[in-house]
Chain A
Amino acid sequence: MSVDLSLLNPEITLATLAIAVLILGLIIPKHARYGLSWLSILGVLGVLGLTLAGWENQGTLYEGLFIVDQYAIFFKVTFLVAAFLVALGSQRYVDRIGDQCEYYSMLLFATLGMLVMASAGDFITLYLGLELMTIAFIILVCFKRTDARSVEAGIKYILLAGMSSAVLLYGLSLVYGLSGSVLIPEVGRAVAQDLSPALLLGLVMLVAGLGFKISAVPFHMWAPDIYEGAPTPITAFLAAGSKAASFAVLLRIFVAALPGAWAYWTTLVAVLAAVTIIVGNLVAIPQTNIKRLLAYSSIAQAGYILVGLVTASEAGIKGVMFYAFLYVFATIGAFTVASYFYTATGSDEIKDYAGLSQRSPFMAAVMVICMLSMAGIPPLAGFVGKFYLFAAVVDDYLWLAFIGLIMSMVSVYYYLKVTLVMYRDDPADDTPIKLSSPVAVTLLITMVATLLIGIYPGPLSEVVNAAAHTFFLH
């Protein structure tokens, strides 16, 4: 049988790029390695172009192991945008903490893992992508080798990621043993025919393993510590990219493998979503460290995206995709401000943000816009995203809509506390913070995207509609 390798263009290019960056880093002298960051940034941009060019080119490879549909492509674009923004925003930061070449090649490998996850048609491919991503992230999380907290975060991440992988794998083995297949649609057929308790247990473990990645309550304990300890750009990528990738596979599993077990799931997911939203938002309130605050808020955000899974209808999937996309911009925007602020002042404490609106009005504005987008305040992107998500569930789960929307207004409280510090107080040290141009571009992109999607969401929603539609064609 012939294999249409053009479907794999993005993955192949990205893998080549990642290896090239790694090897070049070994060959070229240390002072010239700065060019590697540009190579990676432009390379990611190129892969993004390739992926977009393949929008109409859909198909399935290796008898269903690898699915390229517009759903997968949409998520790939999301990851690549995230990788691009993180890469662009972190040059200066990486200079301070270590080697450009290792950092960027690991970043590229993590992205590659995400791309594979988005296209996974069976559990083995899924696991492959997931581990590739996770292992690259483990290295990145402890990239600040001299900083005890970063190393501690790395160790925690290894242990917990290992444990969650173990749970996931155990679940997989149960599923395989009882259904006789690792292909997601095949498993779906087995589930529909005969749902034995052991199979159900396997599926539960699968979901638990992925629940860890999206940091849904009660699998969220790791997130704040690791988000706080990791280098900030990596935290951003972890929060945006890794989470979006896990949602991509979670949706595939839910819709393709579990329709037979639907009755068991919906209420459970609805409750999980509600608990995640409540816990994330409430625990964020007392935080004094900006990274921890954003970590908890990103837990809450995961809860919102989970809402779209509750119905797993086309409307729900659309909500998930739409929200995941805009969430990337909001998260990376906020974390990039935090990361650059750290580079400039060496602090992550919210109280040190005093007077940021006078030291750098642009950074303060981006921070406010990104945070309020997460809170779902119009005219920012988050509002439309939440509208789509809750429109999907309001018929059957009215209480969830109430909880979600009320809690999102509660979240405004802690976002406004940061705003208060940035705008009201006078700075202790009023030297202006000068932005380097790549960071300024990153922030500009996140801000403009957040505003634009919020004010004029039409085009994006059409793309998402089309992509969500292809999802049901298999």
Chain B
Amino acid sequence: MGEFPLLLAILLAPVAAALVLSFIPKEEKLLIKCIAAAGTFTSMALAFYTYFSYDTSQGGVQFVQRIPWIEDLGVTFYLGVDGVSLPLMLLISILGFSAVFASWNVDNRPRDFFILLCLLITGVMGTFVTQDLFIFLLFYEVVVIPIYILIIIWGSTKRVTKEYAGMKLTIYLLIGSAFLLVGVIALFVKAKGIAGAPDMSFAGLAQAAKGLSEFDQIWMFAVMLFGFGSLISMWPFHSWSPDGYAGAPTAVSMIHAGVLKKIGGYGLIRIALYVLPVGAKFWAPVMAVLGVCGVVYAAMAALAQKDLKYIVGYSSVSHMGYVMLAVGSLSVIGLNGAIAYMFAHGIMAALFFSMIGFIYEKTHTRWIPDLGGLHRQVPKISVGFMLAALATLGLPGLISFIPEFTIFIAAFHQYGGLAVAAIAGVIVTALYALRAGAYALFGPPREEYDHLQDIRGPELVPLVVLGTVLIVGGLLPSLLFNVINCGTIPLMAEINAALQIGGKF
């Protein structure tokens, strides 16, 4: 100890902001927003500092902090990050900060809004900074309730009502987590029997799980796959995703599509894959096939949409298909690609949603046929929109190209034909992304939008922050991959070692 508890500070800064907010009179709207911004900014600054001071030559779990928590369940409040979790932690801190500014114009009960938003950010953050399964679960479900309340109060009713959207999203996630919980409890009990003492840390569980029978590993992995899969909107459990995003307010769409979904991918890698490698080996082809189905199906579905939020909603389902495919390849390259792609997608989806949010705020519509020619009236929004659209289709030079390419290498190496189908998905992606941009932003300007005010002042923050990361990450992919490598290489080494002990594969 004695060292500054960095991770704890990153985790608690938004909570502190929420706490302060609850004592501020609700009329002080500007002050409320400033406090939320300050909390999330502190968190982001510290996260950047942590990211760049992570010692890549040493690797492993760093910035460790342990406090014994529940003795008879073997739970420790165990904070620590490695190459797998660090990028995602950084991602949520960036998105949290941007989301506050994307919601700068929320004037309906802003205090409640920002308190819930801060709690949501903390919940997501918590899942990435802990190395203990129980604490992971605590944070994992904390987010459900703030999201629900945020959607039903500040959401928007278009094709589906916001109540429907909120409930659908919540129930899907909870049913998924019910299955997950059964798997976790069974894993805990069996691991306790094998190791002789309860231990909930990822490493401890992975060690004990080597003694599990093949059948146990397989069924536990299956329930976890369902749980995490429905969170990452794995086809065919994805249908909550477009509806949910359409109903949610901008900040929630940003955080949900940007990072919350990634808890599913992260959980698959960190928990399911790492702890249950034999089960993973068994289900890997299934993950890959479902991933490709998701890529193709959701890309086609996005092509048919006319509501901007639905396009991005389906596109995020489609992109998570790539992540599933990468995880299914069970290789270092694949996992590298998966994590980097989750980071990249988080940034571009958030940028996309925030720009759509601004368009909607100003024009009161997201319906593409009603839009057009906006690039004249709101050039800055259009720049952000196009940046996000180009990143979505994987333009080289932007953040998503290298990760996507990495995934294709891994997938092609492992599955060949499937990879071809996935790569074909890129073409469809280009179609819908460019089409959305073309019809919404270009073409002859419309008179009714002449009075629109472009984003300015605080509204620019999401564009600047996310846009910068989008471009810098694209030009210097090593910033991302060096860190991720530190996490995935030892992870895969352990998985392969575990598989060899089994001797079956």
Contact = CB atoms under 8 A, between A and B. Distances in A.
B465 interface: no
Contacts of B139: 378-379
Interface string A376-392: 01110001100100110
A465 interface: yes
Interface stretch (A92-100, A254-262, A283-291, A405-413): A405-413
B182 interface: yes
Interface string A448-470: 00000001111001100100000
B72 A461 contact: yes
Given A419-B148, A424-B153, A394 B69 contact: no
B182 A465 contact: no
A383 B189 CA distance: 16
A408 B185 CA distance: 15
A458 B198 CA distance: 14
Interface stretch (B92-100, B172-180, B340-348, B360-368): B172-180
Contact of B185 (A378, A379, A390, A409): A390
Interface string A414-448: 00100110011000000000000000000000000
Q: List the 9 closest A-B pairs by CB distance, nearest first.
A: A409-B174, A405-B178, A378-B138, A409-B178, A406-B178, A424-B152, A379-B138, A394-B186, A458-B70
Interface of A: 357, 368, 372, 377-379, 383-384, 387, 390-391, 394-395, 398, 401-402, 405-406, 408-409, 412-413, 416, 419-420, 423-424, 455-458, 461-462, 465
Given A377-B145, A413-B167, A423 B182 contact: no
B71 A458 contact: yes
A346 B325 CA distance: 58
B428 interface: no
Contacts of A377: 141, 144-145
B459 interface: no
Given A419-B149, A462-B71, A391 B188 contact: yes
A420 B112 CA distance: 14
B54 to A, nearest CB: 28
B69 A406 contact: no
B414 interface: no
Contacts of A461: 70-73
B181 interface: yes
Contacts of A416: 148, 167, 170
B31 interface: no
A456 B186 contact: no
A394 B137 contact: no
A413 B152 contact: no
Contacts of B16: none
B171 A412 contact: yes
B27 to A, nearest CB: 14
A182 to B, nearest CB: 36
Contact of B72 (A357, A413, A420, A465): A465
A408, A420, A461, A462 pick with most chain B CB within 10 angstroms: A420
Given A420-B163, A458-B69, A398 B170 contact: no
Interface string B143-179: 0110011001100000000010001001100110111
Contact of B189 (A378, A395, A405, A420): A395
Given A402-B182, A419-B145, 7 more contacts: A383-B137, A391-B188, A405-B179, A409-B178, A423-B149, A458-B68, A462-B71
Contacts of B188: 391
Given A391-B189, A406-B175, A413-B171, A368 B182 contact: no
